[in-house]
């Protein structure tokens, strides 16, 4: 019988086969959702989907794309924003 915290729905069930050929259930947390664009809510490419403890150990260049607004806006929205800023500055 699972303990109370495992019945809450915060954890997903993982069926693991042991060396004794029994199948046991392990409980792991759900992965966080993919980050989304602040403007159009499209999923961001190039940003890892993991727990903070896993992603904090990654190098800075692997945490988000190396471009302006990387990790906040998708490439299409970034392109439109930079175009409009360049046109406004003239």
Q: With cut-offs at 50, 70 and 90, classify the pLDDT of residue 87.
A: very high
Q: How crowded is residue 73: how many other Cβ atoms within 10 Å of its Cβ?
A: 22
What does the domain layout of the chain look like in residue ranges?
1-30, 35-90
Region of poorest pLDDT, from 9-13, 39-43, 76-80: 9-13
CA distance linking residue 41 with residue 23, whole number of Å: 40
Q: Does the reported pTM lie above 0.75?
A: no
The pLDDT tens digits of the residues spanning 12-53 come to 999 999 999 999 999 999 989 999 999 999 999 999 998 889
Its sign, for the CA torsion 48, 53, 56, 59, is negative
Query: Per the structure block, which two tokens stand in for 58?
Result: 């990654």
CA distance 46 to 67: 11
Tens digit of pLDDT for each residue in 64-74?
999 999 999 99
On the 0-12 / 13-18 / 19+ scale of CB atoms within 10 A, 69 is middle
């Amino acid at each position: 019988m699972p303990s109370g915290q495992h019945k809450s729905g915060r954890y997903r069930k993982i069926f693991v086969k042991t060396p004794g050929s029994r199948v046991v259930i392990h409980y792991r947390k759900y992965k966080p959702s993919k980050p989304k664009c602040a403007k159009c809510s499209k999923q961001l490419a190039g940003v890892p989907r993991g727990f903070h403890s896993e992603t904090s150990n990654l190098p800075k260049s692997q945490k988000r794309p190396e471009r302006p607004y990387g990790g906040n806006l998708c490439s299409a929205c970034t392109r439109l924003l930079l175009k409009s800023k360049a046109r406004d500055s003239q």
